[in-house]
Amino acid sequence: MGYQLELRHFHYFLAVAEELHYRKAAERLFISQPGLSRQIKQMEEILEVELFVRNKKKVALTTAGEYLKGELQFLLNHLELTKKQLTLVNEGNFGEVRIGFLGSAMQNVIPDLLIRLKEKFPQIKTSLEELSNTAQLEAVIKDSLDIGFVRLARVPAGLFIKPVFEDTFSLVLPKDHTVDSVNFKGIGQVAKENFILFAQDYSPLYYDTIMSICEDAGFTPKVSHKSVHAQTIFKLVENNLGIAIVPTSLQYGFQMNVKFIALSHIPQRAVLSVIWKEDNRNPALRHCIALLLNE
Amino acid sequence: MGYQLELRHFHYFLAVAEELHYRKAAERLFISQPGLSRQIKQMEEILEVELFVRNKKKVALTTAGEYLKGELQFLLNHLELTKKQLTLVNEGNFGEVRIGFLGSAMQNVIPDLLIRLKEKFPQIKTSLEELSNTAQLEAVIKDSLDIGFVRLARVPAGLFIKPVFEDTFSLVLPKDHTVDSVNFKGIGQVAKENFILFAQDYSPLYYDTIMSICEDAGFTPKVSHKSVHAQTIFKLVENNLGIAIVPTSLQYGFQMNVKFIALSHIPQRAVLSVIWKEDNRNPALRHCIALLLNE
DNA sequence: AACAATCAATAACTATGGGTTATCAGTTAG
DNA sequence: CTAACTGATAACCCATAGTTATTGATTGTT
């Protein structure tokens, strides 16, 4: 009866909720399966709520379990941040901002931000992690990331999104391609080529934008390869496996043997945006956002 | 060494941080003082941070301790809310809004809100608590209240404030007073009377507004009594101990033997506002605010 | 249909560590 | 100096988290 909820329960519950498999969850936690079973059961008794349905060899979350999973992920992430901040406060420093970003943001925006952050708030530390659009979205919601740099048109309620960098698109061609910046008239000239694009689920907005560019030129592109790494795309173009359209700023920062033709005459732009959560309690975040938007 | 932080530590830490006295904190927690001492020490070892300074018979929080106190209060309050929400989710319902209010809000705004809330979101429960302006402010910040109904001009950063009800002021006079609604010209007529007002620290804005009303009429009121309850003020007026100026809507809902004269010609208004916290994660709150603001 | 394989739950046991009482070592007040 | 406080230490106890061994139930295989 008189048991108390403890953080241990939360860690155990989350392990099971994520694995949906007691034995695997127990392994991950370095404890035995029966011990885990008992603790979860106890947790259900304390909360007086069924968290899992386990009939017919299947483990699944109940609605209540689903809700609790989200809240506990938030709570534990927030607790982790608090611990970090605590040692910083203890050392007389004041905070850490956890930043996620798409590879392409590393060319301009991120280095810029880091330099100005160091100038103005030398007491704020940063941690950087390269992640996909969707991974950043989830991480920001779950409070394991403070801000993300993404290419998205809109975000779920509870998040803020603000554009921070607009870039033209460029056509990427092999060095020996007949089209060059002198005789280039419009992308209609390369309508027959194979296209190499960033994968759709990696960046839906990018994909749709490229499609609209081609539509405007009156053709539907034949897509032969998809990738999530700029480097790969350039290598493929270099080896005559197709051509690409990418944000212009990607032409800096890679070693490659291809030519870029800026499509500055078309209206579409590659927009990089910051996202963060309305209810993020990290005080260092406010400074970081202010730095990004004002000035 | 290989110890883990647990919720127990948080409750113990907060008890000591609030009492600043080990024995009293231990009493409050229904455990022995040595046990508490050991747990706090262990917590400091786990976090590798000094949380209290205890030299010369004094217990005080360090800067880090102060920071941790705030964060843990938030975390534990949030956890409490999550538990409540969880049982509601489990029952197929969806949330609870914790409402604080000044007594005067009970005349119009609160009943109105409750009725419309029940209509539109029957699944949302409410808990109501009558509190002073400052008590509501603190509770909202600490996440032990979702919204408050207050009379304040501005609130600290991190909070939102929106006016929801504007009321004229009324002069409150004994039934047999020579001034009445027929021969009433302006409050200059009662400049010589004793005034009975709501206490200044109970509602600074109200107090200042009354002062400005009298200033506009060219006199400084002689304040003979202060109170925090409307009922008390009316009783005092009834017994010829002075006159009062209060929000007009207070004339409904009390049994009293006084007369009200609405001061609709003066510019000052009694403004009741909702306050809530930007980073409040309660989904039910959003609905509640939307209902209050959009109509 | 019988078999092995794999799941979570149950039972019985062990030992870590949270909480206890008793005591000590400072500090303050009278 | 004594009495009355404080919080910290020491030594003990026992509740309970985690262990191993086993069962029962479901699934896939031959």
Task: Search chain A and give the residue with CA nearest B278.
Answer: A279
Instruction: Give A-chain residues touching B48 at CB under 8 angstroms.
Output: 87
The structural domains of chain A, ordered by start, are 7-71 (1.10.10.10), 93-165+272-292 (3.40.190.10), 169-268 (3.40.190.10)
Lowest-pLDDT choice from B84-93, B181-190, B207-216, B227-236: B84-93
Q: Which of A6, A50, A87 sits opposite B8 (nearest CB)?
A: A6
pLDDT tens, residue by residue, B17-36: 998 999 999 989 999 999 99
Q: How far is the CA of A16 from the C1' of D18 (A)?
A: 17
How many Å does it take to go from CA A30 to C1' D30?
36
* Residue matched to tokens 């011990």: A35
**Six token digits for residue B246:** 């209060």
Whether the beta carbon of A15 falls within 7 A of nucleic chain C: the reply is: no
Q: State the nucleotide closest to B25 in CA–C1' terms.
A: D7
- pLDDT tens-digit readout, B250-288: 888 787 889 999 999 999 999 999 999 987 777 788 888
Whole-angstrom CA distances from A149 to A80, A139, A232 are 22, 12, 21
Block residue for tokens 């241990």: A8
Query: Which residues is B251 bridged to in the sheet?
Result: none
| pLDDT more than 90, % of chain B | 52
Q: Which nucleotide is nearest to B35 (CA to C1')?
A: C19
Which residues in chain A have their CB less than 8 angstroms from residue B94's CB? Answer: none
Query: Measured between CA atoms, how close is B69 to chain A, in angstroms?
Result: 11
Nearest CB to B75 within list A6, A8, A75: A75
Residues of B in Cβ contact (< 8 Å) with A87:
47-49
Query: What pLDDT, on a 0 to 100 scale, did the predictor assign at position A95?
Result: 80
- Write the CA distances from A86 to A79, A149, A249, B10, B172, integer angstroms: 10, 26, 39, 14, 54
Q: What is the dihedral of CA B155, B159, B160, B164, to 10 degrees?
A: -60
pLDDT at residue A1 greater than cutoff 60: no
> For A42-54, what is each residue's pLDDT tens digit?
999 999 998 998 7
Chain D bases under 7 Å from protein CB? 5-11, 16-21, 25-27
Digit-coded pLDDT (tens) for A101-159? 998 888 888 988 998 888 888 888 889 998 989 999 999 998 899 999 999 998 988 89
Query: Residue A272: helix, strand or coil by DSSP?
Result: strand
**Mean pLDDT within B177-187:** 92
Interatomic distance B19 CA / D2 C1' (Å): 29
Instruction: Indicate yes or no: CB of A86 within 8 angstroms of CB of B280.
Output: no
What residue spans of B60-158 are helical by DSSP H? Answer: 63-90, 109-120, 133-141
Asked if A82 and B64 come within 8 Å (Cβ–Cβ), the reply is no
Q: Which residues of A touch B (CB under 8 A)?
A: 4-8, 47-50, 62-64, 67-68, 71-72, 74-75, 78-79, 82-83, 85-87, 89-90, 278-281
| Token couple for B198 | 């709501």
pTM above 0.85, yes or no: no
Judged on CB neighbours under 10 Å (0-12, 13-18, 19+), B185 is: exposed
For residue A122, count CB atoms less than 10 angstroms from its CB and return exposed for 0-12, middle for 13-18, buried for 19 or more.
exposed
Residue type, A23: R
